[in-house]
């Protein structure tokens, strides 16, 4: 069979990387379509992945609306020329619409219950829906849940071999903390927010009293934070996170990644609360790998506490406990995609 994998974020590539390799080994054709967004194209180039760009990311709502029609037309043109049997995406409206138009199956992999577009439009149009086990919503007969989280596809010890010499080889001064700040321009981020500029500066300066601080940011850093910029290659971010002694950020993706790599992790944004997403709740309440904190003063005091006394070995043990309960996620997903 022929498969299109649509990627809109570096996480999508990492999530589907091993699945695509398994399908290739089984004799299937794979075509990667990528959105020109953030550092995704850099990651694909660094890893020598053949891809075709189907559209560019726009920050403003008006920009998204005006570009959506041309993106759809371009996507459909590429898909028709490739003639796929299946279109796979995280939860793409373009993917499910094109699949309907060219009469092929579509698989989506949502892991956030709060995205209205997915729940009201994309999921009803998709042929098949695959989610992590703790996902709180039920999409009916076409919905299949898998054990663990999608991050296991690329962070499991069976897949990722952490290079513990990475910091020394790349000039990272240990112990260090990674601060991650996102741009809040994605569709699912509308009306939500993370740290203010003053809070970012306070975090960097306060944590910096106890360990080296490196910042990963979707937006260009202001002058007050420029000296903290992380300069390692984007494709090496998981080695960076795995060797960190602390992670603090308003990102969704990197918070889960840091936690599952055995790094003490603090996540803070406006999603945190009683209606927060199930995966983050599970990582905190069941496995103790993540702290979800909305109040900034509590974030700051917790981060300083973690920076003063390392919890790294404790978090590594918790990671081992988590992965002892999760099987081979990639093989299972590949089997589902072949049905």
Q: Let me know whether 191 and 317 are in one domain.
A: yes
Do the domain assignments include residue 332?
A: no
The CATH number linked to 213 is 3.40.50.2000
Do the domain assignments include residue 152?
A: no
Task: Look up the pTM and report it.
Answer: 0.87
Do the domain assignments include residue 328?
A: no
List b or e across 280-315, with b for residues whose CB sees 16 or more CB atoms inside 10 angstroms.
Answer: bbbbbeebebbbbbeeeeebbebbeebbeeebeeeb
pLDDT digits (tens), the chain, 339 positions: 999 999 998 889 999 999 999 999 999 999 999 999 768 999 899 899 999 999 886 655 555 666 889 999 999 999 999 999 999 999 999 999 999 999 999 999 999 998 999 999 999 999 999 999 999 999 999 999 999 999 999 999 999 999 999 999 999 999 999 999 997 655 555 567 899 999 999 999 999 999 999 999 988 999 999 999 999 988 899 999 999 999 999 999 999 999 999 999 999 999 999 999 999 999 999 999 999 999 999 999 999 999 999 899 999 999 999 999 888 899 999 999 998
Residue 248 to residue 296: CA distance in whole angstroms: 11
Cα–Cα separations (whole angstroms), residue 258 to 62, 78, 198, 244, 263 = 34, 36, 24, 9, 5
Predicted local confidence at residue 234, as pLDDT? 84
Do the domain assignments include residue 151?
A: no
Q: Let me know whether 106 and 212 are in one domain.
A: no
Q: Let me know whether 259 and 184 are in one domain.
A: yes
Q: Let me know whether 138 and 200 are in one domain.
A: no
Do the domain assignments include residue 336?
A: no
Q: Let me know whether 182 and 129 are in one domain.
A: no
In the chain, the number of structural domains is 2
Predicted local confidence at residue 296, as pLDDT? 98
Domain endpoint, select from 146, 179, 208: 146
Find residue 143's DSSP bridge partners: 129
Do the domain assignments include residue 337?
A: no
Do the domain assignments include residue 79?
A: yes
Q: Let me know whether 195 and 293 are in one domain.
A: yes
Predicted local confidence at residue 84, as pLDDT? 98
Do the domain assignments include residue 331?
A: no
Q: What is the strand order of the sheet 212-217 is part of?
A: 212-217, 176-181, 246-249, 265-267, 290-292
Nearest in space to 125 (alpha carbons), one of 94, 147, 156: 94
Residue 1 to residue 23: CA distance in whole angstroms: 9
Predicted local confidence at residue 59, as pLDDT? 58
Q: Which class for 61: exposed (0-12), middle (13-18), buried (19 or more C-beta within 10 A)?
A: exposed
Alpha carbon dihedral 269, 274, 276, 278, in 10-degree steps, equals: 150
Sequential DSSP letters for 3-28: EEEEESSHHHHHHHHHHHHHHHHTT-
> For the segment 135-188, what is each residue's pLDDT rounded down to a tens digit?
999 999 999 999 999 999 999 999 999 999 999 999 999 999 999 999 765 555
Q: Let me know whether 174 and 128 are in one domain.
A: no
Alpha carbon dihedral 17, 74, 217, 270, in 10-degree steps, equals: -90
Q: Let me know whether 20 and 117 are in one domain.
A: yes
Structural domain containing residue 116 = 2-146
Q: Let me know whether 125 and 235 are in one domain.
A: no
Residue 55 to residue 8: CA distance in whole angstroms: 10
* Cβ 228 vs Cβ 213: under 8 Å: yes
Length of the chain: 339
Q: Let me know whether 204 and 110 are in one domain.
A: no
Q: Let me know whether 65 and 133 are in one domain.
A: yes
State the DSSP H helix or E strand holding residue 2, giving kind and residue range, or none if neither.
strand 2-7
Q: Let me know whether 70 and 189 are in one domain.
A: no
């Amino acid at each position: 069979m022929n498969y299109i994998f649509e990627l809109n974020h570096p996480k999508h590539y990492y999530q589907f990387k091993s699945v695509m390799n398994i399908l290739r080994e089984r004799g299937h054709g794979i075509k990667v379509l990528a959105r020109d967004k953030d550092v995704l194209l850099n990651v694909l180039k660094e890893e020598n992945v053949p891809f075709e760009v189907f559209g560019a990311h726009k920050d403003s709502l008006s920009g998204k609306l005006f570009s959506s029609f041309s993106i759809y037309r371009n996507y459909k043109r590429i898909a028709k020329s490739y003639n796929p049997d299946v279109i796979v995406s995280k939860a793409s409206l373009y993917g499910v619409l094109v699949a309907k138009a060219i009469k092929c199956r579509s698989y989506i992999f949502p892991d956030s219950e709060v995205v209205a577009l997915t729940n009201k439009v994309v999921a009803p149009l998709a042929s098949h829906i695959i989610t992590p086990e703790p996902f709180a919503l039920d999409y009916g007969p076409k919905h299949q849940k898998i054990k663990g989280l999608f991050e296991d596809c690329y962070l499991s010890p069976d897949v990722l071999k952490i290079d513990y010499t990475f910091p020394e080889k790349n000039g990272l001064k240990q112990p260090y903390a990674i601060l991650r700040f996102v741009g809040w321009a994605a569709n699912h981020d509308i009306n939500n927010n993370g740290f203010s500029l003053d809070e970012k500066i306070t975090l960097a300066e306060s944590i910096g009293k106890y360990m080296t601080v490196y910042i990963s940011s979707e937006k260009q850093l202001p002058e007050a934070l420029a000296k903290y910029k992380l300069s390692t290659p984007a494709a090496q971010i998981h080695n960076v996170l795995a060797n960190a002694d602390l992670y603090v950020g308003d990102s969704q993706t990197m918070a889960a990644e840091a936690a599952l790599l055995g790094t003490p992790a603090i996540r803070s944004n406006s999603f945190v609360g009683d209606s927060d997403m199930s995966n983050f709740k599970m990582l905190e309440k069941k496995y103790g790998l993540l702290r979800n904190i909305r109040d900034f003063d509590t974030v700051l005091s917790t981060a300083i506490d973690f920076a003063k006394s390392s919890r790294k070995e404790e978090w590594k043990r918790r990671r081992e406990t988590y992965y002892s309960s999760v099987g081979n996620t990639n093989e299972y997903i590949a089997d589902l995609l072949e049905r």
